[in-house]
Amino acid sequence: MIKVGVLGARGRVGLEVCNAVEAAPDLELVAALDKDDAIEGLQGAEVVVDFTHPDVVMGNLEWAIAHGVHPVVGTTGFDTGRLETVRGWLAKFPGTNCLIAPNFGIAAVLMMHFAQQAAKHFESVEIVELHHPNKADAPSGTARRTAELVAEARAKAGLGAMPDATSTEIGGARGADVGGVRVHAVRLSGLIAHQEVLLGGDGEILTIRHDTMSRAAFTPGVLLGVRRVRELPGLTVGLQPLLDL
């Protein structure tokens, strides 16, 4: 049995994770903590799942890594600076590993992977992410990571800047620039989490779309991370390596 703690246990995703851990025969839910619960309640957990808030996740990670609890992190807001800080903490505690994935949905991971593969074949790529209006961060962690993967693939293929004649703009109209890839964020009641990657070339458009229909969609990927994190040394970013992609 793997002893699992959950941070953000009363949140939209945390609730689903607690239910999934409790239903899994090889996992034991030993702590379900939310805002205002002392983090020391994680003592005794081997793995901690974090679905909290970008403002608090770094403090949670610092505590967990220093106490030998392997974090599996869904909370977003990670840029290269934050990832470097986590690597620094892990270097001080080499027995502890950490998995940070901007999206635990298997289909979402495939969408990112397909976008990365397709990127080198197209002159233009833009990303539109669409989420529920309670989301704290924009653009989404998934969109940010997709843009980074697309930018890496374009650089590797020797592609330069995308065509764009915009010379007059109301601020924000062309979205955020993530490594040269434009990312547009929609916040709309009724949505959960959705993304389109638009790839344009010579007389052809390829659209790769992903839709999250229920937050239970994140739990198989989270449980995969919980089962595997102890054998993944250091920091792993994204679920791709666990899916043999």
Ligand X SMILES: O=C(O)C1=N[C@H](C(=O)O)C[C@H](O)C1
> What letter represents residue 26's amino acid?
D
Q: In the block, which residue shows the tokens 């890496």?
A: 152
- What is the 8-class DSSP label of residue 217? G
Q: Which of 29, 31, 218, 223 binds ligand NDP (CB under 6 A)?
A: 218
Task: Return d(Cα 241, Cα 217) in angstroms, integer.
Answer: 19
Q: Which of 102, 221, 225, 238 binds ligand X (CB under 6 A)?
A: 102
Which of 70, 131, 184, 210 is the catalytic position? 131
Which of 35, 209 has the CB closer to ligand NDP?
35
> What letter represents residue 118's amino acid?
A
Q: Report the half-sphere exposure of 13 (CA within 13 A, side-chain side).
A: 27
Q: Which of 3, 82, 135, 227 binds ligand X (CB under 6 A)?
A: 135
Residue 11 is assigned to a ligand binding site: yes
Which of 21, 108 has the CB closer to ligand X?
108
Tokens representing 215? 């937050």
Pairing of strands 124-131, 27-33: unpaired
User: Which of 36, 20, 12, 14 shows the shortest CA–CA distance to 223?
Assistant: 20
Which of 42, 181 has the CB closer to ligand NDP?
42
Residue 51 is assigned to a ligand binding site: no
Q: Is the peptide bond before 139 cis (omega within 30 degrees of 0)?
A: yes
Q: Report the half-sphere exposure of 8 (CA within 13 A, side-chain side).
A: 22
Residue 137 is assigned to a ligand binding site: no
Stretch of 79-87, 118-126, 135-143, 227-235 contacting ligand X, by CB under 6 A: 135-143
Q: 236 touches which of ligand X, ligand NDP, none (CB within 5 to 8 A by kind)?
A: none
Binding status of residue 103 toward ligand X by CB under 6 A: yes
Neighbours of 140 (CB within 10 A): 22
Q: Residue 2: beta bridge partners? A: 27
131 in catalytic set: yes
Residue 75 is assigned to a ligand binding site: yes
Tokens representing 240? 């791709």
Q: Which of 116, 142, 146, 236 binds ligand X (CB under 6 A)?
A: 142
Q: Which of 5, 14, 139, 238 binds ligand NDP (CB under 6 A)?
A: 14
Q: Which of 20, 27, 29, 33 binds ligand NDP (CB under 6 A)?
A: 33
Task: Return d(Cα 139, Cα 116) in angstroms, integer.
Answer: 18
Residue nearest to ligand NDP (CB): 11
**Chain positions contacting ligand X, by CB under 6 A:** 76, 102-103, 131, 135, 140-142, 193
Residues belonging to the binding site for (S)-2,3,4,5-tetrahydrodipicolinate are 132, 141-142
Which residues form the catalytic set?
131, 135
